[in-house]
A and B are shown apart, each in its own frame.
Chain A
Amino acid sequence: MNSNLNEHAAARWLGLFIELGQLSVIGLFLELLLFEGTEVIWLIRLGVIAALLAGILKSQGWFVLLALQASLFLREPRRSEMYFGVMPVLFCVTVLAIIAYSYLGRSFRMRLSDWLVGQLRTAFSGIENLKRKAEQESAESHWMWFSGTRLLVWFVLVSVLMIVLRRLPLTVSMRSEWLRSSIENDLTVWPGASLLVVAILLIVVFREMAWRQMSAAQASLYMKSTFMLYHYRDLRMIVLRRLKLKRAAVGTSVDSKLLVERSIEAGARK
């Protein structure tokens, strides 16, 4: 029981730590996007980034969007010529990713943290479990294949991280190099149209993929509601006409009844 509680607490702390790590990475990217090559003092930088991270925590993506727009407005150099290179695409992709991240909200952050916690758990405890299983089942080849794949994945991850860290402007010389290339490349948003179209296509495709997971009852309900939505006026007209006819029929029957009663009364008087 106690071990379960300890495990739960450890997973919670690890999740919190990973969430903080996510926010730190986003903060680093925001610092690069907003203040790279500027003379703003670090206190203001930290304040702005803290405010933006608070906005992201509250899922207020417009906050980040506004800051990026202001930064572009104040810092964008004159568009002397377009540069069709990798840097503008990287810039746009980073900005879109940060805005998407800030809009996805807390649930996405927690899901990502859970996934990373799961990965770390399997990475550290999976090898022992697999060893035990391999001893029990005497299936050495499975374990070899699994651990080989895992090693390969880790190798690829570490290589990518090393390349990214070498690219990121962490030192002064790298920062000046980054700034120089940014000015040369002229950070304009030339691939904006294509990126937006691809983003819309991806959103449509993923939403339709999710749509196909519905049950028969949901599909039936959707068909009925769509039918009602598009034929509402016709159906309303038909129902109103039927109601009018019904009322008219009831009215004539009441009139004829009254006529019969009156004639009976008149006969009785005579």
Chain B
Amino acid sequence: MYWTREIAGWALVLFSLYLLRTGLLFVMDLETPRIVESAVVVFAGLGVLRAGIMLVRISTAARVCQLDRR
């Protein structure tokens, strides 16, 4: 169960990085820079990154606790 959470966390981290890259590319488009869209996507990406890191950390801590009890 913990491994599932960890994999889900890493998947969320990767997805958030994709979102961040997309947001940055919006700004770097020199012909039509989309600042507002970029801000929205980057904000969402940061939220997803935080959630992913939290999932990974919780699953790791829970695994350590379980191993200690055994």
Contact = CB atoms under 8 A, between A and B. Distances in A.
Contacts of B13: 201, 204
Interface in B30-62: 30, 49, 53-54, 56-58, 60-62
A196 B20 contact: yes
Interface residues of B, number: 21
A208 B49 CA distance: 13
Interface string A174-201: 0000000000000000101110110011
Contacts, number: 56
Contacts of B62: 219, 223
B53 A204 contact: yes
Interface residues of A, number: 21
Given A197-B21, A201-B17, A219 B53 contact: no
Interface of A: 79, 190, 192-194, 196-197, 200-201, 204, 208, 211-212, 214-216, 219-220, 222-223, 226
Interface of B: 13, 17, 20-21, 24-25, 28, 30, 49, 53-54, 56-58, 60-62, 64-65, 67-68
18 contacts: A190-B28, A192-B24, A196-B21, A197-B20, A200-B20, A200-B49, A201-B13, A201-B17, A204-B49, A208-B53, A208-B56, A212-B60, A216-B64, A216-B67, A220-B65, A220-B68, A226-B54, A226-B58
